[in-house]
Structure 1
Amino acid sequence: MRIMGRRRALVGVLAGSLLLAGCNAGPGQVGAAVIIDGASVPVDRVQQMIDKAVREHPYGQQLAKEHKLDLVGREIVRQEILHKLTERAARREGIRVDESLVMAALQKDPLATPMEAKQQDAPETSVEQLVARVRDHREALIDAALQSQLGLKYLDKLSVTFDFSSVSSTDATGGDADKLREQAIEKARRFAASPNAAAELIAQDQQTSDTQAGAGQKLPAMQSPATAATVLFGIQPNTVAAFQPSPQQPLWVVVVMRERTADKPVASDQATQPSAQQLAKVGVRLLQPYLDQVDLKVNPRYGVWDVVEMNLAANEASKKGIVLPVHGAAPQQR
């Protein structure tokens, strides 16, 4: 199935996707916010960008009043990490952005408009937009276009086969939400105990009426572009992941990946046309395997990397899930 014209898709991304879309540091990390393959981003640079966000954008000023500038710092570090991963992926995949499209986008520069104090988008999306505006605009636009091009290249080829079980509740607030997370992570650890552990536990769960579970589930990315942006499509075979598909639903899913293919188009009679924003998010998820190829050190003042969200979490307890290798089974490569 033809997803969309490449040039049309990239023009859309360049023109608007971004509008949508300290302590305990080791000797080598003193003064660095993050170190990626030996290249460091200084804490001072991150602070300068935070200052710019407050100085030039009413939304940044609002975040300062709400004492939420830590969100901006974490997003700056996140985008620096994704920038390096995107460059690596682009080199390996042989993808690039047409320079004429970059110049055309910069002439209209969708990132030039200051962000108002009140935003309609979710806070994480608004903070992402804010940081894109305080970065080098050319770099930010190219990153977004390359990520979308990566998503475009693989969306119709990517397919996963997995076994799964679930942990659910009628209430997802307060302590019950924390309990669900703990139960899901504990189940993931049990799945990862041995190559046969997950199959045995899922067989038991299938006999329980209040637990959703199944084996050999196959899902092409084209069937659900939104799901293709989740950790389900980022993990390799013989890997377990526990995550919450939707924060609004009191349901966690624990999966063990059996097969992940991305070498040829996958036939699907339920293909869904992706939006430019979904395409970009799929591209970011496709950067996940590259994390194993870089030496990444994040200054604890900015949090810890959360592979489930492809984002920084404030601390280990704030991570949105867990990814584990199956003990005794070597992960396969894509």
Structure 2
Amino acid sequence: MTRPPGRLALAALAVLLLSACGDGRTRSGAAALVGDQQITVEALRQVVERGLSDPQAAQQLGADRAAFQQQTLSRLINRILLEDAAREAGVQVSEDDVDEQIERFVAEVGGREALDMQAAQGGIQPQDLPRFVRDIVLEDELASQLTEDVVVSPEQLQELYEENIAQFDQVRSRHILVADEATARMLLEQVRADPSRFGALAAQFSTDTSNKDDGGELGFAGRGQFVPEFEQVLFSAQPGTFEVANTQFGWHVIGVAERQTTTLEEATPQLRRAALQEQRQTVTLDVLRETAERLDITVNPRFGRWDAENVSVVAAPDPNGVLSPAPGTGPDDVPEGLIPDGQPPAPPPAAE
């Protein structure tokens, strides 16, 4: 099977907040209906509480509890959509696939303890990790099947190259920042006469405290990372030369150390991977949209409303609005709490 790249998969793990949900039909109310499946209010409450049980997660995610609750409910719904879409496409993953991906995560972050800590900070308890990794692997396998015949054209590669030229044309530079032109011109003469003195002069004269003690080193940078006046001088100068530029910060003596330009041919493998990844994301999102439309999703307005375009739960403009039941159900069949009567019920109390 095709394996997801480590960094991309790990990023996916970071955003897959705890999303376990109960499949049982309870009478405590539904947070959402996805086809004939129910995500109960109690299941959602437990997920949110567990997601905020880690102190760092509580600090980062708990500040806006409503938003976190909507995000969590989105994950719960999308899990059902993913399972259904994969089943329709005949895509399956095994326990060995999941175990192999976990081992890749372990190797990337530097050990199981580090992985467990990152998972907890994202709201995933260690015992729940295999289930969440399964979601990642399943989505990757589905994307691979959906895009197995996709070909990236030369025109697409050229367009991507031009859009990202800043990362393929970079200059390493250093500078000395002073307040007036006279000082800048004086320093320019000195570094042109003896380039080896640049670092010492930066330490003595530069007002840029962030790098003066490092010889004024700015490292590699592409276009768009400096103010226009600085950038114009930087990218028009030849490596090994020194120039002066005036910006809103003052006068700069700029030393251009080297320039790295990656050609389209050299960048093609990287660009092709990026284009394919974008295609995978686009196609997968389209399939999830189609699956959501087919199953029909009903969200309790107490928790938000369903945004079909972005396949997520968002804040409801009218939390008191009446919710239409899913197709095939009547008012008597909708679980208690799904259609609020008057004011929406208060959120359940947080666990002690």
TM-score grouping bracket, smaller chain normalisation: 0.3 to 0.5
TM-score (norm 1): 0.46
User: Which structure is higher in helix share?
Assistant: 2
TM-score (norm 2): 0.44
**Higher-Rg member (1/2):** 2
Greater RCO (CA < 8 Å, at least 6 residues apart):
1
